[in-house]
Structures are given as structure tokens and as C-alpha cells.
Structure 1
Amino acid sequence: MIQIENLTKRYGRVAAVDGVTFSVPAGSVTGFLGPNGAGKSTVMRMLTGLTPPTSGRATVLGKDYRDLVNPGSRVGVMLDASAQHPGRTGREALTLAALTVGVPRTRVDDVLRLVGLTDDEAGRRVRTYSLGMRQRLGLAGAFLGEPEVLVLDEPANGLDPQGIHWMRTLLRDFADRGGAVLLSSHLLHEVQAVADDIVVIGRGRIVAQGSMAELVAGSGSRARSEDDGALAVALEAAGHTATLTPDGVVVDVEPADLGRVALAAGIVVTDLRPHGSQGLEELFLRLTADDSREVAA
């Protein structure tokens, strides 16, 4: 349902997006991951016709977004939940969107119920909304036209744990009924819980893509030791890619191989295991280490 082929966006000599190719089929959720500034939002803006590509093509439902007849009725988009007029009520914002899309006003009540905004909350000015309420309003707008495809940028931002669980169930149900979801999020545990496929982007290029099971299964080992810094240096010297994280050293080898390197270097390992439930987070940290603004202490 979404097809992105060799998509590139340049600003002068800077390539914000460089030759990105991936697809989002019907009945699936694709997690679109990357550090800040990696190019995720630019890809989504090109997909939805807000930014023209320098080269390549992004299509949804077989066409460029701008060529779809009444795209709001077929593609639900939420790129910035704060992009609502602060002086309007939530209901007014949705009613205007309904008139634009051409759906009955009764649909406004349907989506308000869907996202859990009460009549009282819908009657309040958007300027009084919390971040989580703005997110729910943005999701209501995305679902207004009963879409076949969802394109969502950080939809869980500001939601409490119950809200995040609700959103995950909502998106999973949408995909299971045949919809396609492109989901950008920094909440990696939630992405791991809902996504079928993953695309990781760094410095405008795809650094990994595949099914969740494939990527997590191939993510190596994690170890803690009496000197994690020395262990990382020893692993790098042995030709492996090692990354220091708050939970230890992440490396692209099996636990037995990591143990042999530690033994040869005389480093005492206190915890050694394959990637478990945090595999996606550790995979992300390793793949995007060059783009990180943080420096490991």
C-alpha cells in the first residue's frame, strides 16, 4: 500500500534523505526508526506531498499522494499533533476536517469515542489540551475519513502508559483488518510490541530493514563486566562492532565468542546473554551509534 523507491531529498549539497527504498504492505505495521535528524520526518513529508523529492518516488495506494482523489478519505496522516488552531475546540477542529474530507458530521462523534475524548473535553479549546489530549485529537483526525493507510509520526508522544497500550491495540486492530501503518516512534519497546517490520534510518540512509523477528534474532549478545570500557575495546580489537550502553556492552557476536574474547583479555564478565526483550533497543543503539548526540561515559 505504501511504496518508496530510491527517494532522495537534497538541500544544496546536503542529502537529508539519500536513496531510501522500502514498502509497507496491507495488513501490517512498519516501524520507522532513527535518531533525531536522520530523515524520518522528511520521508513522511515527501510521502504525503508536503515536500517535493529531489529524485525517486513515494506512492500510497498506487499513486502519488497528490494524485489521489480526496486523499483524506483514504489516508490518515498525523505528522504534528500540535498543528491545530489553539482557539478552536476539539469538536470544531474535527468538524472542519469532516467538511473538508466530505464525511458526515456524525463521524466526528465516532472518532471522538474511538480515541477516548469525552464530550466535555471535545468542547474545550485546544490551547487548554495536554500533550496527550492533542495526540488523541490528532489520531481522531487521522481516522476521520475511515482510511486504508495510516502515516503517523510519534503518535504516542505524551500518552500515559494506559494510553500507549490503547494506541498499540488500536493500530494492531487496524492492521489486522487489512490496513497499512507506517509508524515513526522513539518508544522502541512499544514499536517492538506492535510492528511486523522495521526500517532503521541513519544520516538519510537505511541502515537496516526486515521483519522484527529477523532483526532481533540477529542482534548478537549483551554483557556486563567489571570493566565494560575495557571489554568494548577488546571486542573492537578482535574485529567486532561493540557499543557501550547503560545496560552493558552490546556486540554483534554470539555469547560464546564474546566470552572467549573476555577470557583472553582477562576481563571478568558478570552477566552474559543473547538479546532478549530489549533486543530492538540494543539493535537501534548499535546501528545508530554514529549518529548519536550522546557520548558514552
Structure 2
Amino acid sequence: MITVENLTKRYGSHAAVDDVSFTCPPGTVTGFLGPNGAGKSTTMRMICGLTTPTTGTATIGGVPYRRLGNPGRLIGVLLDASAQHGGRTGREVLALAALVMGVRTSAAGPALERVGLDASAARKRVRRYSLGMRQRLGLAHALIGDPTVLVLDEPANGLDPEGIFWMRGLLRDFADGGGTVLLSSHLLREVEAVADHLVVIGAGRVVASGTRDELLSTAGTLVRALDPAALRDLLDRAGLSFSPATDGGFVVTAPAETIGRAAAAAGVVLLELRPAGAGGLEQKFLELTR
């Protein structure tokens, strides 16, 4: 299990991460979401021992990363797909990682095959890899120690649709086998398809967390009208809490029946009235981080 407790990182007076707490249980994929600059990467770097917290703790199986004897055998990390020596071949990168972790260098070949890099790619210098190939190599690097935990920052960046579908299956299989996955990504529909739990961060703080179904079921009611200004006035007069949504609509914290009756009484023509959760994670993310 990954456990983050009251994690804070300050740079002078600026809090990049501010009192963040969450857990990632075994057997699950946790989607870690937030806009650029929200503190996701800083949090992940603190989990992996690359950045020292100002306060708070981050542990893997109850132990801080820096105190793990051979961390690559417990936790696989991919934070930057470009952080590979450009002059080495793909096979050399993995063989060196295997040596450091005490794994047989013969594991490099199967690891490359597992992520879809063939013999030609294995012989190619990393500087000649596309971004998608670097992502696959980074995943192979994270997996070669046969870890039980994966921490991945934007692993689908640069992958084509087929590659994204493949990665979704890989992560789902890893979690279904008892592994723990912490996944940061801006591809919200892919996160929605694979994640069991969601943690949403904004301005360095957790703004929402829970299971995917819990978060999407509390999204409120989406309503759009022929006259958006008249609808806004109606919601104001009715004392209903609402926030702007896409396409001129509003997400209202009230049942659909309440909104529909109020609109009918006021003569406001509605074009759409449905649970906001039907808009999926993308709609919920925009509401939480607006």
C-alpha cells in the first residue's frame, strides 16, 4: 500500500503541495488527477524519495522509499520517459537496471517483449526512439524488478490509440494480480476506464477523493436551457446552488425533478436535464478544479 499522510512541500512562501493525504490499496489503480501546476509531480517525487517533504510522510508498505533496501524490487517508477541515456540501446538500459537490482540480465529481453518493443527496437539507441517508444522502455524499466507497486506520471504521453489501449490492459492486469498502481494522467477518459479510486488535487491540496463511482455519483444535475440567462435567473431566484458547465449549461446541486418543476412554472424551456455524472470524469474534473 502507498500511504501519504499530511504531505507538504514549500518553496519559500509557496506551498507546492499542502497537507495532502491519501492511500492506494493493493489490487487497485488510483488515478491522481489535477491541472498543470497542481502539485501532482511534486507529490509523486516525494513518494519516490526524489524530493524531501517539508512536513508529512509518504511510505510504501509502511516504509519510506529511501529506507527500502532494494526499492526497484518493490516499486517500479516512471516519472520521466526521457530520463534514459541516449547512447545506450534499449536492451543495455534494461540490462544495467537488472544488474543494479540483482535481477538476471536475461530478463531484459522478456521485459522488452512485454511492452511491445521488438528485437530491432532492443538494438536501437535510445536517442533514436520516439516518445512512445521511450514510454514503453520506461515501463519495461519499471517492471523489470517484478515490483508489487507502480508509480507512473503521464505514462501514456506519446502513445497512439492502440498503445493507450494496450497500457490500460497492462495496468488493469497488474492491479487485478494484487499490485498497486498510482497513475497520473491528463487523459481523463482513459483514467476513468481503468481507475478504481480517484484523487483530485488543485492548488496543492486534495479537492476530492474516493472510488470512481462515489465521485461520479455526486456530480449533481446538468441542465441546459434555450435561454441560459433566464435559466441562471431562475436558479438564483430558487436559491439553488449551481456552477457553470460546458456548452452554456449549469451543474445544479438539486434533483432533476426540482429543477424541472421550477423551470416549468417559470416557462423556461429546457434542452437537457440529466445526472451530471453522465458527463463522466471529464465533467467532474472541470467542476472540481475550476
Which band: TM-score by shorter chain? over 0.9
Q: What stretches of structure 1 of length at least 5 have no aligned partner?
A: 290-297
Show the counterpart of 1:24. 24
Q: Does 1:199 align with 2:199?
A: yes
For 1:273, the aligned partner's letter is R
For 2:146, the aligned partner's letter is E
The size of the alignment, in residue pairs, is: 289
**Residues of 1 paired with 2:166 and 2:260: CA distance?**
41
**Residues of 1 paired with 2:78 and 2:104: CA distance?**
21
Q: How far is the alpha carbon of 1:265 from its aligned partner?
A: 5.8
Closer/same/farther in 2, CA of residues 6 and 265 from structure 1, 3 Å limit: farther
**Residues of 1 paired with 2:37 and 2:258: CA distance?**
35
Closer/same/farther in 2, CA of residues 213 and 247 from structure 1, 3 Å limit: farther
Show the counterpart of 2:259. 258
Q: How far is the alpha carbon of 1:225 from its aligned partner?
A: 2.4
Closer/same/farther in 2, CA of residues 121 and 265 from structure 1, 3 Å limit: farther
**Residues of 2 paired with 1:232 and 1:87: CA distance?**
60
For 1:86, the aligned partner's letter is G
Range 76-85 or range 219-228, more displaced:
219-228
Task: Check conservation: 1:236, 1:242, Cα contact below 8 A.
Answer: no
User: TM-score of the superposition, structure 1-length normalised?
Assistant: 0.91
Provide the identity percentage. 61
Show the counterpart of 2:246. 245
Show the counterpart of 2:97. 97
Q: How far is the alpha carbon of 1:39 from its aligned partner?
A: 0.5
Show the counterpart of 1:218. 218
Q: What stretches of structure 2 of length at least 5 have no aligned partner?
A: none
**Residues of 2 paired with 1:68 and 1:197: CA distance?**
26
What secondary structure sits across from 1:15 in the alignment? strand
What secondary structure sits across from 2:245 in the alignment? strand
Show the counterpart of 2:6. 6
Closer/same/farther in 2, CA of residues 81 and 251 from structure 1, 3 Å limit: farther
**Residues of 2 paired with 1:229 and 1:47: CA distance?**
47
Q: Does 1:140 align with 2:136?
A: no
What do the CA deviations read for 1:14-34 (whole angstroms, capped 9, x no partner)?
111111111111111111111
**Residues of 2 paired with 1:39 and 1:211: CA distance?**
21
User: TM-score of the superposition, structure 2-length normalised?
Assistant: 0.93
What value does the CA root-mean-square deviation take over the aligned residues? 1.8
Closer/same/farther in 2, CA of residues 234 and 112 from structure 1, 3 Å limit: farther
For residues 1-297 of structure 1, what are the structure 2 equivalents within 5 Å? 1-228=1-228, 231-232=231-232, 234-235=234-235, 238-246=239-247, 248-263=249-264, 266-289=267-290
For 1:159, the aligned partner's letter is L
